[in-house]
Structure 1
Amino acid sequence: MKLYHYTRILFCVVLICFAQGCGSVFGLPSSPEKSTMGEYTSYTTDLKKLPLPKEKIVIGVYKFRDQTGQYKPSENGNNWSTAVPQGTTTILIKALEDSRWFTPIERENIANLLNERQIIRSTRQEYLKDVDKNSQTLPPLLYAGILLEGGVISYDSNIMTGGLGARYFGIGASTQYRQDRITVYLRAISTLNGEILKTVYTSKTILSTSVNGSFFRYIDTERLLEVEVGLTQNEPVQLAVTEAIEKAVKSLIVEGIRDKIWGKSVDAMNNYQAVLDEYEREQTKNKDRVIGNRFPHNNRQQLSFFANVEAQKVRDDYVNPKMNIGGKLGMKFFLNENFNIEFSGSYFTLENENIVKRSYLIPEVNVEYLLFPKYKFSPYLYGGFGAMYSKFKPQYKGQFGGGLEYLVSKNVAVRASSQYDLGFKDDWEGLINGKRKDQALRFSLGLNFYIGNK
């Protein structure tokens, strides 16, 4: 009895050590961390690399706030925490400093500044009566030639969600993701006449991901083993807001250079030509962008050629069917954006271990439907007819299947698919037995090369 008790204690200790080890492997925090400097975003570096102006522009920001009024989404009751950080004015001022194009002046808490200056004047008048009056005068405050207004005007939750999972004999894994989105507007206003000189608009998605794995199995009738591991990662909203604001500041600077609203601060246009060209390319590309940071170009041309490697397995009247490797070559002709006709030829091996083995050449004709023809990633479905030729009499069949295609470049796509073949007769292997026709299952991976006009 004691041995059994000690064995259970040892087993628990081993499991705890294993869990701790998994935490280290997955990079999970296991001890307190020191405070660090704030992270840079990709646009922090871009702002610091901008060509410098001839002279800095004095600029004021009174209020750049969260205008959404939205609270954090919660699955368990009400959550009164705001979805967007409330210090966006401070983030904007930091971005203006990083750009080195502006001299920001204090306007958000101008009352505090004026009150402190009044205290200084009163103190000097009361305690420094014998000092020269000119030395007691405070220098004038800087005034801004341009004011910045705007704010975070939108926070959209769950603009895109999804996941994938599988479980087999108590072993399972799953992954989930969610995308939110924030939108920022920023405008520059002339203090001379109140004219709105420029308005820019940027957005940033916020990604949350979760990966989980589990093992659930009865070891015997009284013993159950259950193991779980998981990792969830949420992109910080503050960093997303910072990146969107920094992008807005960069866009404001570049468009101001292009439209000549910065006046004497811009020296020679040649000094900024590289930045202007890069921004122009980005704007051209952005014209076709849709929600989800996708670019639905109609990249697929009217004609394509493809080559696949296949894993093939027959389901016939004999036992012990074996999986073999084959291949397929073919071409596709698009009738419109969604539909195409496919002509192909494949090499197929039918084999039952130690019983029969036959090789076939199979021409096929299919009609294929591409679900998202203007996107790089798209599912597709197809179906058609084919014939199986060998040294024996030809066999005829129908087939249907589906898969996924991803454009890795303008003319090359990677494809993964599965296909189900159903014979019109029951004698692929030379034996007729039972009511079920001979069938086959194929899994393929290949490349699709697009040529010709769109």
Structure 2
Amino acid sequence: MLKLKSALAVFFLLALTGCGTFFNQPYQQQRARVGEVSPVTEKLVNFPLPQEPVVAGVYNFKDQTGQYKSVENGSTFSTAISQGGTTMLIKALEDSKWFTLIERENLSNLLNERNIIRNTRAEYRKNQNPNEPNLPPLLYAGVLLEGGIISYDTNIITGGAGARYFGVGASTQYREDRISVYLRAVNTSNGKILKTVYISKTILSQAVSANLFKYVKFQRLLEAETGYTKNEPVQLALKEAIEKAVEALIIEGIKENLWLPRASEETTEKLIQDYENEKDEAESTQLYERFLTQRRGQNAITAAVGFSHMNGDLPDPQPELNAKIGFKRQLNPYLNLDFTFNKFNLENKYTFNEGFMSFDLNLNYNILPYDKLTPYLFAGIGTNASNYFDAIDPKIQGGIGLEYLLKDNIGIYAYGEHNLVFSDNIDGIEAGTIDDMFYRFGIGVNYYFSQPSTKFNERKELERLKKKELKALKKENRRKMQEQNRNSKINNSNN
């Protein structure tokens, strides 16, 4: 019974990991509602107004991928992407208030309707009001907006995790697709392409499940299962990508003075600068959301603690304390030189225990230097000495490590190191043909004195200084207000 209660507790704990979706399951029909908005929609709605809206026409913003929806069995003629790209684009342009939109997608319908109006007037109103004015002329576009959905890549990354123990298990799976759109503005007077922007958006699908399969007693089987699947709608992803393309096109046009906002220079400059920062970050981000920028400073101090383990001629080696401190210098993002001083003991049970120190010079190779988490390899030369310098022996060492940046200037790391000493007398016994060796393992901290001079770090520093100035200004204003209140109280008491 105790085992059953434990299994049920684990099962329900796993089930509650997705409680947000689990407890909001659709048990009844839902009424029609206003369509969902994205953060980009809100940004477009609150965009600075233009000095003068641009008359724009959209003939067709279509799916250029030609893909059909994939199914497990059989075939389907349903397209993988919504065919309403033109309508979505027109809605995004309308939300921005930067464009005066004219009907071009179904221009033939508009022209037919105008012909019907003319014919009706000519037929039935000719004698009643001969001075009735003609239909006003159609607006013509100063700018045509062209482009389309140019790619829809499925399963660009898939994965998951799961575990099962004594009939209790849980698993999660995910899949990521990707959609890309291009949008360009064309000058109708000369056909010149004014600007082209490119936007991509990932589409996430997730599945979480938990299950219980256990014999409660003889011939009594308890089985339970729960879970949920969430698929990001392709239509919403496409809508957000199109809205982002409209936002980018407007700001690119402001940069090139194609159109101007009805805002101050400071507001316009901040709008452009925020966009440039976002663009720089996007250009430095690879396909799988890996933001590639130089993160580690040129100089750092390093310290670590761990244990050492002897591999010599005596039996029963025991782990002993090891500590180190050192200095690291970056040669380039991939290579570092570090000089360390190590203090450690080596022990064999009941037979040998002695303190040592070593001075090591290593060349480190960072495998992923632009990531927060990077494995690294290192190798170098050093000297090994007993505590009283009775013996000093040269050695070589090499190993592997893993570093993670907690902050911009602080990294934690773990490492394992193999040391080969050119002496067979470290443990006091010379036996065999192989020199003595030992291993060191530990965890440590790297403190970087400075940050790399990249545009991202310069932007962070500028933002930090602005926050500092704003904080100081608020403090000064608060002090002035307190002083004014104090003076007013004194004046009131004197009166």
User: TM-score, normalised to structure 1's length?
Assistant: 0.72
Cα 1:287/1:60, change in 2 over 3 Å = same
* 1:29 partnered with 2:22: yes
* 1:46 partnered with 2:43: yes
- Consecutive unaligned residues of structure 2, counting only runs of 5 or more, are 454-495
Q: How does 1:119-158 map to 2 (within 5 A)?
A: 141-158=138-155
Cα 1:163/1:19, change in 2 over 3 Å = closer
Tell me, yes or no, if the aligned pair for 2:11 and 2:169 is still in contact at 8 Å. no
* 1:403 partnered with 2:396: no
Q: How does 1:83-162 map to 2 (within 5 A)?
A: 83-114=80-111, 141-159=138-156
Deviation, 1:43, is 2.1
Q: Counterpart of 1:272 in structure 2: which amino acid?
A: T
Deviation, 1:201, is 2.0
Cα 1:39/1:305, change in 2 over 3 Å = farther
Mean Cα deviation higher: 283-292 or 126-135: 126-135
Mean Cα deviation higher: 249-258 or 161-170: 161-170
Mean Cα deviation higher: 241-250 or 225-234: 225-234
What is the aligned residue count?
Answer: 440
SS at match of 1:104: strand
Q: Counterpart of 1:92 in structure 2: which amino acid?
A: L
Q: How does 1:14-413 map to 2 (within 5 A)?
A: 19=11, 22-27=14-19, 28-30=21-23, 31-32=25-26, 34=30, 37-72=34-69, 81-114=78-111, 141-159=138-156, 179-208=176-205, 234-262=231-259, 266-267=261-262, 270=265, 272-283=268-279, 288-308=284-304, 310-312=305-307, 314=309, 327-348=323-344, 361-384=357-380, 387=384, 389-390=386-387, 399-407=397-405, 412-413=409-410
Tell me, yes or no, if the aligned pair for 2:145 and 2:184 is still in contact at 8 Å. yes
SS at match of 1:95: helix
Deviation, 1:208, is 5.0
Tell me, yes or no, if the aligned pair for 2:284 and 2:292 is still in contact at 8 Å. yes
Deviation, 1:87, is 1.9
Deviation, 1:149, is 0.7
Deviation, 1:126, is 8.7
Q: Counterpart of 1:32 in structure 2: which amino acid?
A: P
Cα 1:441/1:196, change in 2 over 3 Å = same
2: distance between equivalents of 1:312 and 1:164? 33
Q: Counterpart of 2:18 in structure 1: which amino acid?
A: F
Cα 1:305/1:441, change in 2 over 3 Å = closer
Cα 1:418/1:296, change in 2 over 3 Å = same
Deviation, 1:98, is 1.8
Mean Cα deviation higher: 341-350 or 363-372: 341-350
Cα 1:453/1:116, change in 2 over 3 Å = closer
2: distance between equivalents of 1:441 and 1:176? 38
2: distance between equivalents of 1:333 and 1:300? 11
1: distance between equivalents of 2:251 and 2:44? 11
1: distance between equivalents of 2:320 and 2:218? 36
Tell me, yes or no, if the aligned pair for 1:427 and 1:438 is still in contact at 8 Å. no
2: distance between equivalents of 1:360 and 1:168? 46
Deviation, 1:89, is 1.6
1: distance between equivalents of 2:220 and 2:49? 71
Q: Which residue does the alignment assign to 2:464?
A: none
Please provide the CA RMSD for this pair: 5.3
1: distance between equivalents of 2:174 and 2:10? 27
Q: Counterpart of 1:401 in structure 2: which amino acid?
A: G
Q: Counterpart of 1:449 in structure 2: which amino acid?
A: Y
Tell me, yes or no, if the aligned pair for 2:54 and 2:100 is still in contact at 8 Å. yes
C-alpha offsets along residues 233-280 of structure 1, whole Å, 9 cap, x if unaligned?
A: 554433332232222111211122232323xx6557736333233334
Mean Cα deviation higher: 179-188 or 435-444: 435-444
Q: Counterpart of 1:304 in structure 2: which amino acid?
A: A
Mean Cα deviation higher: 244-253 or 216-225: 216-225
Q: Counterpart of 1:250 in structure 2: which amino acid?
A: E
Tell me, yes or no, if the aligned pair for 2:298 and 2:448 is still in contact at 8 Å. no
SS at match of 2:22: coil
1: distance between equivalents of 2:15 and 2:220? 25
C-alpha offsets along residues 70-99 of structure 1, whole Å, 9 cap, x if unaligned?
A: 345667676655443322222212211221
Tell me, yes or no, if the aligned pair for 1:383 and 1:399 is still in contact at 8 Å. yes
Deviation, 1:130, is 9.7
C-alpha offsets along residues 31-80 of structure 1, whole Å, 9 cap, x if unaligned?
A: 30746544433322322232111333332212111111234566767665
SS at match of 1:240: helix
Cα 1:231/1:414, change in 2 over 3 Å = farther
- Consecutive unaligned residues of structure 1, counting only runs of 5 or more, are 1-6
Tell me, yes or no, if the aligned pair for 2:303 and 2:325 is still in contact at 8 Å. yes
Mean Cα deviation higher: 358-367 or 224-233: 224-233
Deviation, 1:437, is 6.9
2: distance between equivalents of 1:436 and 1:233? 60
Q: Which residue does the alignment assign to 1:4?
A: none
Deviation, 1:422, is 5.3
SS at match of 2:194: strand
Deviation, 1:177, is 5.8
1: distance between equivalents of 2:350 and 2:219? 42
1: distance between equivalents of 2:437 and 2:125? 107
Q: Counterpart of 2:93 in structure 1: which amino acid?
A: L
User: TM-score, normalised to structure 2's length?
Assistant: 0.67
Tell me, yes or no, if the aligned pair for 1:218 and 1:225 is still in contact at 8 Å. yes
Tell me, yes or no, if the aligned pair for 1:254 and 1:276 is still in contact at 8 Å. yes
C-alpha offsets along residues 337-359 of structure 1, whole Å, 9 cap, x if unaligned?
A: 43333221244466899999766
Q: Which residue does the alignment assign to 2:443?
A: 444
